[in-house]
Amino acid sequence: MMTTATIANTQINVGMGELVVSRDCDDILACIGLGSCIAMCIWDPAAKVGGVAHMLLPVSRNNDSFGSPAKYISQGVPNLINKMLKSGAQLDSIIIKMTGGARMLNIPGGNNILDIGQRNITEAKATMKRLNLPIMAEDVGGSYGRSIQFSVGSGRVLVKSLAGRVIEL
């Protein structure tokens, strides 16, 4: 009788304000319960390096992240890219995918200052534009939360929304 052994993927949960970079093709980097937060997933298919930053707010007013490398998008994206480069990724071969940025509060009168999700999306896109790095795929906005699973081995991002949608970026 022949038996087949399978190696289970390792899921690593990336909490709010955290970033994780991995070179292990069996790793799944996950962000559970993204609301207005942004999850930036970056993958280098040649180097097989993947990373995720789970960012809460657009910009730090005092450049103070309270010890969190990814609390603010303005700091989290450059921190993630730098860590990716130190792990062997090359800027000219990375693929960037973005999720999150939901409008979690129904604000009368459409007060954009309180719409953290939209402000996060705007800052994430502006940061990537400043860095001259294109976002290849995204699932952002809406009024529902999401959870993601990012495969370091394949670069696929599975997005499950509280609205019942399941998509792959």
Residues recognised as catalytic: 37
38-44 β-sheet, strand order: 19-22, 49-55, 38-44, 95-100, 137-140
Give dist(CA 140, CA 143) in Å, integer.
10
Give dist(CA 151, CA 24) in Å, integer.
10
Q: Which of 152, 149, 27 is nearest to 99 (CA)?
A: 149
Radius of gyration over every alpha carbon of the chain, rounded to an integer in angstroms: 16
Q: Which of 80, 71, 77 is nearest to 51 (CA)?
A: 80
